[in-house]
Structure 1
Amino acid sequence: MPAPLNRALEAVLDGADADALRRATTRLIDVYRSGAPPAEQVLRDRVAATAYAAYRMPATHAAIARVLRYALEVDPALAPRSLVDVGGGTGAAAWAAVEEFDVLESVEIVDGSADALAVGAAVGRHGPPALAGARWTRRDLGDGAALPPADLATVAYLLGELEPALQERVVDAAAAAADVVAVVEPGTPRGFAAVLAARDRLLAAGWHVLAPCPHEQACPLAAAGDWCHLAVRLDRTALHRRLKGAALGHEDEKVSYVVARRSPVPPSVRPSGRVLRHPRTRKGMVALELCRADGSASEEVVSKRQGPRYRAARHAGWGDQWPEGGTDPAD
């Protein structure tokens, strides 16, 4: 977790009732591990919202930050000056966006939980100027009201908690408000299904995929009964370990995502391949499972005889871009 967010969380959590936070964290873990959309407001009080910020915000922040970096790797010119964080809760996506885009000036977080917004605003006051001055707006996302216009809309860890019809309305509202939309969900079959539905809806509306897909055709993993996701590793703080009852000093947050934009993605910008799983390294070779620009998914085995391409394969990671054919990857 980056030091600014860590310090901000510690400042807000200082003096909080540790036992109450642990009990609330246990309830939240039970809800999120159930695999079903919650039947009622999850962050129903200030303690629950504070526990969520302490136990989930580090992981969701790390995942969203990595997603935005993937988008920047495809298009380094991406430079939003305004953000609307839809269903942003305690503001993890806003923190990630402010850190990844140094030109970001205007931030608005929209959510249905007043308690989550209050905790998020308290944490944000310890952050960079764009967060300290952010607007935290309570709104029922099902009321059909338009979202404030922005260069970038983030819809993170939200759609999987909504009924399909409401998911569609939220995606449509984000697309109407912004020029770039980032949808992020847990890297589970259900989370991926929500991302895939959002991707399909954006493509049907004439939008264009920036990341992770190197194409705009049907997802080859979905066609094979699989799901597209990746893992983001983050360090746990001492408080994080205590609240989760965890022994390890790190955790891996699995995430599915799509970043799309209103304007076309030039062929020269779009990646020709994406690594779908952890590369498998054997003596003298690396096996990469790839999503390809032609809409297929297949394995490529890179041998030591391929020189620079083999060295690049040894450094490739799950989720990274990968070039096709004989073109050697950039160092």
Structure 2
Amino acid sequence: MPHPLTDALGAALADADTGALRRATARLVEVYRSGAPPSTQVLADPVAAMAYAAYRMPATHAALTRALGEAGGLGALAGIRSLLDVGGGTGAALWAVAEAVPELERATVLDGSADALALGRRLAGYGPPVVAAAGWAPVELATRPTLPAADLAVVSYVLGELAEERRADIVDAVADAAGRVLVVEPGTPRGFAAVLAARDRLAAAGWHLVAPCPQPGPCPVAARSGDWCHFTARLERSALHRRLKGGALGHEDEKFSYVLASREPLPHSDARVLRHPGFRKGMVTLELCRSDGSAGPQIVTKRDREAYRRARDVDWGDAWGEPGGPDAAHPR
């Protein structure tokens, strides 16, 4: 019987030294919070790989699941049969895509850490057939790699760990290999900057933006001083997760930025909700990024009963309006 990811982590790490994992987690936290691209391989030994899997894999999986859910709601995951997870570490994207795309037939995870690949392969043995059968191979991301073809390429929590001059090479490499590309980074100004650069590069190459952006022109959020486009995914913390992170809460919110682009036109939303909606009696205020290239508030009142009903049900990160193709109408 296949296991969900949390159970797989518990089973694979059941005999690990908790003290060693806690120390390795503290080192990883220090590296990632520094904001600087690591100068050496972060997951350089089996303990570091296990600490990463326990500490970061659930949050990465949650962010990817949210982004893929938005794509699936637009019908943008149809036809995907193969996955390429570039810089995939222990395989969080593999698990998320396998859950979001039941039709997935084959997957390959590429990473520069042999220890991460070994642990990811072991974890995959607890997963559904397509996860268990995935290929795991080393890749060198310091130069532009030649990648195998796939329907969907995922680059998650990778670009921010590379020097800026290397990021464009990776975006170009996955664009050459796949028909759809999903880039995910931490929901920080630095993470958003990496996603924005990938977004703009793909759009300039003629790719079609699917989510979260409703239009391919300049990002209106980036033009606002001190602002950046990001979303959030809530995940439940396992007992192991709480022990390693020292957290008292049973959940945490993972903030992330992302872009999904396609070589061919696909449905996209009229607009995207950028913040938690504001609720007052008989009125909902939505902060929207719109298909006309603008971003700002839209007030929905009870006078428009259908719009008001929908506005009360949307949340930060949701699409707003009807999905459409490249000529989708502007919000009404």
**How many angstroms does 1:284 deviate by?**
2.1
Matched residue of 2:104: which SS? Answer: coil
Could you say which residue in structure 1 is the equivalent of 2:231? 230
**Correspondent of 2:283 among 260, 268, 285:** 285
Could you say which residue in structure 2 is the equivalent of 1:273? 271
**How many angstroms does 1:326 deviate by?**
11
**How many angstroms does 1:77 deviate by?**
5.7
- 8 Å CA contact 2:291–2:331 kept in 1: the answer is no
Could you say which residue in structure 2 is the equivalent of 1:251? 252
Could you say which residue in structure 2 is the equivalent of 1:43? 43
Alignment of 1:163 with 2:153, yes or no, is: no
Structure 1 segment 79-228 matched on structure 2, within 5 A: 79-225=79-225, 226-228=227-229
**How many angstroms does 1:327 deviate by?**
8.1
Could you say which residue in structure 1 is the equivalent of 2:325? none
Matched residue of 1:223: which SS? Answer: coil
User: Residues of 2 paired with 1:4 and 1:244: CA distance?
Assistant: 21
Relative to 1, partners in 2 of residues 1:161 and 1:283: Cα closer, same or farther, differing over 3 Å? Answer: same
For 1:284, give the aligned amino acid. Answer: G
TM norm structure 1 = 0.94
For 2:320, give the aligned amino acid. Answer: W
User: Residues of 1 paired with 2:167 and 2:76: CA distance?
Assistant: 29
Unpaired segments of 5 or more residues in structure 1? none
Could you list the per-position Cα deviations for residues 206-230 of structure 1 after superposition, in whole angstroms to 9, with x for gaps in the alignment?
1110111111110000011321000
Could you list the per-position Cα deviations for residues 140-187 of structure 1 after superposition, in whole angstroms to 9, with x for gaps in the alignment?
122433101101000000000101121011000000000000000000
Moved over 4 A (4+): 324-328
User: Residues of 2 paired with 1:8 and 1:260: CA distance?
Assistant: 31
- 8 Å CA contact 2:44–2:115 kept in 1: the answer is yes
For 1:149, give the aligned amino acid. Answer: A
Alignment of 1:317 with 2:315, yes or no, is: yes
Aligned residues: 324
For 2:213, give the aligned amino acid. Answer: C
Could you say which residue in structure 1 is the equivalent of 2:52? 52
User: Residues of 2 paired with 1:89 and 1:111: CA distance?
Assistant: 6
For 1:24, give the aligned amino acid. Answer: A
Relative to 1, partners in 2 of residues 1:76 and 1:179: Cα closer, same or farther, differing over 3 Å? Answer: closer
**How many angstroms does 1:308 deviate by?**
2.3
Could you list the per-position Cα deviations for residues 255-281 of structure 1 after superposition, in whole angstroms to 9, with x for gaps in the alignment?
10000010123xxx3211110011111
Relative to 1, partners in 2 of residues 1:76 and 1:183: Cα closer, same or farther, differing over 3 Å? Answer: closer
- 8 Å CA contact 1:214–1:270 kept in 2: the answer is yes
Unpaired segments of 5 or more residues in structure 2? 323-328
- 8 Å CA contact 1:79–1:101 kept in 2: the answer is no
Matched residue of 2:222: which SS? Answer: helix
Alignment of 1:298 with 2:296, yes or no, is: yes
Could you list the per-position Cα deviations for residues 98-137 of structure 1 after superposition, in whole angstroms to 9, with x for gaps in the alignment?
1100111111000000011111111011101111111110
- 8 Å CA contact 2:86–2:109 kept in 1: the answer is yes
Matched residue of 2:319: which SS? Answer: coil
User: Residues of 2 paired with 1:3 and 1:315: CA distance?
Assistant: 32
- 8 Å CA contact 1:49–1:119 kept in 2: the answer is yes
Matched residue of 2:303: which SS? Answer: helix
- Percent identical among aligned pairs is 60
For 2:211, give the aligned amino acid. Answer: A
**How many angstroms does 1:39 deviate by?**
2.0
For 1:240, give the aligned amino acid. Answer: H
Could you list the per-position Cα deviations for residues 234-266 of structure 1 after superposition, in whole angstroms to 9, with x for gaps in the alignment?
11111111110000111000010000010123x
Further displaced range: 301-310 or 18-27: 301-310
- 8 Å CA contact 1:110–1:137 kept in 2: the answer is yes
For 2:304, give the aligned amino acid. Answer: Q
Relative to 1, partners in 2 of residues 1:130 and 1:283: Cα closer, same or farther, differing over 3 Å? Answer: same
- 8 Å CA contact 1:286–1:310 kept in 2: the answer is yes
**How many angstroms does 1:306 deviate by?**
2.3
User: Residues of 2 paired with 1:76 and 1:170: CA distance?
Assistant: 22
Matched residue of 1:305: which SS? Answer: coil
Matched residue of 1:9: which SS? Answer: helix
TM norm structure 2 = 0.94
